[in-house]
Each structure stands twice: as C-alpha cells, then as structure tokens.
Structure 1
C-alpha cells in the first residue's frame, strides 16, 4: 500500500516532466528550424564547398585546403587590395558608424517625443533604402562630369580646371564609399541604442548625481553606457556584420565589379567576382569562410568589451 502511494507521485512527476519537455521542444522547434535552414546548413555547405573544386556545372570534387592555400599565397588581388581595403574600411566605418549611432541616439533621447520620432525615422531610412539613394543621389552628386553637383560647384568656384572622376579614380572612390557607408550606418543597432537610452532607470541617474557626478559627459560614461551594455553589444555586432558586408556600395557607385583598379574591392566583392562572374564556386566558398572567420574574431572582441561580467 505504502509503495503504491509512493509510486503514484513519482509517475505523476515523470508525466509532468515529459509534458514540460515536450512544451519546451515545441517552443524551440520554430527557432531550431529557422536557424538550421538559414544559418547552420548554409554555413556547413559553404565549409564543404570551400574544400572542393566546383564550377556549378560539374559535380564538386574534394581538393582539401587548396583553395585556402591559394587565397593566402597565389591571390595577389586579395593580398594587395581586398584584405587591406576591407580591414581599412572596417576600422574606419565600424567604430566610426558605431560611435556616431550612439551619439545621435543619445542626442535624440534628449528631445521631445514627436521630433525624436521624426528624426529617428529620417536617420534610419537610409539603412533600408540605401541602394536606391546610392543609385539616384550619390552617383549624381559625385558624377565625373559637369552634370555632377560636386564637380559643377568646384568648376563654378574655379577650384578645379576639369571634372574629377570621383567614382572611377582610385584616389577618390574609397573616400566616397566611406562617406556613403557612414551616412547609411544608422540601422537596427542605432534603434537598439535609442531604445536602451530611453528605457534607462532614472533612479540610477539620481543616485549617480548624489554620488558626485555633475555633468552629462560623466553621466554617459559612468551610467548610460554601463546600464545599456546589452544594447551596446547588439549594436556592435550589427555594426561589424554590416561593415564587412557593405561591398555593394563601391560596386553601385562605380558600376563595376571589380571596382576600378580595385580601389574599393572588399571581400564580398571578391566573392561575387569569383562566384557569380567566374563561376569558381569552391574558391568563392573558401573566401566566404575566411570572411566568416574575420567576423567571428571581431565579434569576440565586441563580446569582451560589452558582455555582462558574472
């Protein structure tokens, strides 16, 4: 009798555990499927293809690490132009756009709700329709003839004798690409920072001023940034990913891939060149794996800076 009574609660407990486990499984299933279909499986396929020789028409044949060896020993364009320009662009636009996003988010948080909403929308819009703006506005501004607004003004002011080829010259294209990238860098990371500032704990600010903080700069350094580390981390990761995948800007401005004299040739452009123009998919996959590794390294640095310490 006593044994039967003891077994009933145990059976009920096990049944409840099975129900809980099944409920957790159902809740995780959509995320697991989406993660597998759009991230895990494509990454696994890219790693596999990076170890093959594949021209789209024939069946991939394994060739080991030949593609990676060729990238770092035979690909002069990658070593002399693509990698240095990608890292230069990332170092300038990544931290620059990130700090600009935080400063603008903090400034917007100080004004009324209606103008804040309007300005936030205006700042966020270029990140959504940047390609249209690049094709219509920026190419018109920097056009290499007298119809380009910049050249027209410089000619009118007698600052130059003939139009400057901003979008075709290796001396100017990279600068224009950086300007456009910074202009379109107010993406979801910017919105996350704005939300983090607006939802901050007012009691922390009051306590900080009681403890001796007496200006806005100290408030930002000692209260705002530590308080919104999750948003800062999210913004940093999004900035890193966006920076390393921004190769379309140079192609859209110059109208060519590779860009003129590889002036703004980034890893994503190099991947498109080999994958969709030369159809060397195995080599393009190896380049994408290299790009993934670089993004992971920079993301780890961001986690070290902004992740919560236990």
Structure 2
C-alpha cells in the first residue's frame, strides 16, 4: 500500500512538474526544435519561398562545393575570427588588469569602459561608420594631423576587415568584467609568496595570474569564436547589406542572409546554415578536447 501511494505521489509530482515546464517545452519545440528540423529538410530542397519546396537531394551541398562566393565568405569569416577574437581577449584582459588596481574613483573608469558594450549594435555601427569615414571621419582627421597615412577603411578592400576588427575591440566591456571578476578571485597570498621568493611582475603574471584566469580566457575564446563565426549586424549595416567593397566584408552570415531573403534561395541558405553549424560544432569540440592542456581549474591536482 505504501509503495502504491508513493507511486501515485511520484506520478502526480511528475505531472505537475511537466505542467509547470510546459510553456518552456512548447516554446523550445515550436521555436527551436521545429525550425532546426525544418531547415535540415529544406537544405535538401529547392525552396524559392513563394512556391512549395521540392526535394532535390544533395544538390544544394554539391552546388556550394563549386560556389566561389561560398569560399570567399568562409575566408572572410575565418580572417575576422582569427584576428578579432584574440584582439578582443587581449584588450579586455589588459583593461581588467588596469581596472583591478586600488585607485580612487575606479568605479567611474570601470563604467566608462563598460558602456560601449551596451550601446545598441545598429547605433554603434552608424557611429563607427562616421568615425571611419575616409574623407571627414574623426580617425582619419587625427591621422592626418599627425602626418600619418589615412586608410580608406570601409572604402578599401584591404582595410574593411581591419576596420571591423577595430570596431569589435571597442565593445569588449562584457569580457572585461568577466576578467575583472576572475582577477579578484586569484589568491593574494600566492602573489605575496612569489614576491618573497623574488618573482618579478612578469613571472607572477605568467605563473599565477594567467593559470588562474585560464577558465575565463577559455570561456571568452569559445564564445568569441562562436560570435565571430556568426558576425552579421555590423557588416550588414555598414555596407548596406552588400558585403563590399569587392566582397571583402561578405561574411558567411551575410551570404546566408542574401541567399535566403534577397535571392529567394531558402534551400541553399539552409544548406549554408548547416555547414556553418557543423563547422562551429567541430571547432568547439576541438577546443574542449584540447582544453585540459592549457586550462587550470582551482582545486585540480
């Protein structure tokens, strides 16, 4: 009798729990799971959106293998990820080191460096479009006053991606806060012991600070790569959705968007999306597989 009562109670608790979770479960199924499965199906279809999808097998995937713009967009995205992610991590880490000092009014400085990260993306893109204007932008004006070369920035295929990388470094306030929180968790007694043993600032940084900060650095590395692989809004706004000049800022996500909503090739766009998902998944798994070599978690032996 006791077992039967317990079984009834467990079933009631399970039912109540599912009822409470049902809004989330329904939302995940309708807004995440179904679109993912639908996009997988559409990637094997010719789907111009205004007509029903027609199954064509692996034609979309065979087409992208011979698509030069696919490789160009992939190369642009890889370039941005390789340079923007480390640059953002380094900038955020150096700022966190500076803002971790015991100086009067430090809260004001922390706020000043954090504010750019909460500026709306479109507004920030328009602001930087003015700053990077090759004729009357503030950056080139300063460079000319200093008698330095003034690049074409967004008007130059050679400088457009570096311009976007520079812009991305401006918004590292979120990473800075993560690093700042991590720095405040590093045991002070280790610094004191190392200083007594004669370790200099560089040695303390390499052998104490960075190992204790490695989980935070690893987290931002993974999230930075995922974000860079999906880089879209800033380049779209600053190039009017064209990815110019000369396809130099046509990132993978922009090319995906163009195929879906400009060329009406939704099936091909879904194939591109699954290629991007696979690349991100494989690289993320690689990072986690190798993380034991360079990530230290406190308490591990």
Cα-to-partner distance string for 1:18-37 (whole Å, 9 max, x where unaligned): 46645664675555445444
Q: What secondary structure is seen at the aligned counterpart in 2 of 1:179?
A: helix
Residue pair 1:192, 1:234 contacting (<8 A) in 2 also: no
Cα-to-partner distance string for 1:140-180 (whole Å, 9 max, x where unaligned): 222233x33344455566666xx854322212212212211
- Show structure 1 runs of 5+ residues with no match: 1-6
Residue pair 1:173, 1:250 contacting (<8 A) in 2 also: no
CA pair 106-62 structure 1, distance change in 2 beyond 3 A: farther
Question: Shift in Å at residue 128 of structure 1?
Answer: 2.9
Q: CA RMSD in A?
A: 3.3
Partner residue in 1 for 2:155: 168
In 2: Cα distance, 1:225 partner to 1:35 partner: 38
CA pair 269-289 structure 1, distance change in 2 beyond 3 A: same
TM-score normalised by length of structure 1: 0.78
1:133 to 124, 129, 151: 124
Partner residue in 1 for 2:44: 51
In 1: Cα distance, 2:235 partner to 2:58 partner: 30
Residue pair 1:90, 1:243 contacting (<8 A) in 2 also: yes
Q: How does 1:1-310 map to 2 (within 5 A)?
A: 7-8=1-2, 10-15=3-8, 17-18=10-11, 21=14, 25=18, 29=22, 31-73=24-66, 75-79=67-71, 81-112=72-103, 115-116=106-107, 118-129=108-119, 130-136=121-127, 138-145=128-135, 147-153=136-142, 165-187=152-174, 189-198=175-184, 200=185, 202=187, 205-206=188-189, 209-210=192-193, 214-227=199-212, 230-304=215-289, 305=291, 306=295
Residue pair 1:258, 1:273 contacting (<8 A) in 2 also: no
CA pair 51-219 structure 1, distance change in 2 beyond 3 A: farther
Residue pair 1:233, 1:307 contacting (<8 A) in 2 also: no
In 2: Cα distance, 1:284 partner to 1:43 partner: 13
- Show structure 2 runs of 5+ residues with no match: none
Residue pair 2:116, 2:173 contacting (<8 A) in 1 also: yes
In 1: Cα distance, 2:200 partner to 2:240 partner: 49
Residue pair 1:56, 1:281 contacting (<8 A) in 2 also: yes
Residue pair 2:89, 2:217 contacting (<8 A) in 1 also: no
In 2: Cα distance, 1:101 partner to 1:93 partner: 12
In 1: Cα distance, 2:254 partner to 2:146 partner: 37
In 1: Cα distance, 2:56 partner to 2:171 partner: 40
Bigger CA drift: 17-26 or 100-109? Answer: 17-26
Which runs of structure 1 show a deviation greater than 6 angstroms over 4 or more consecutive aligned residues?
307-310
TM-score normalised by length of structure 2: 0.80
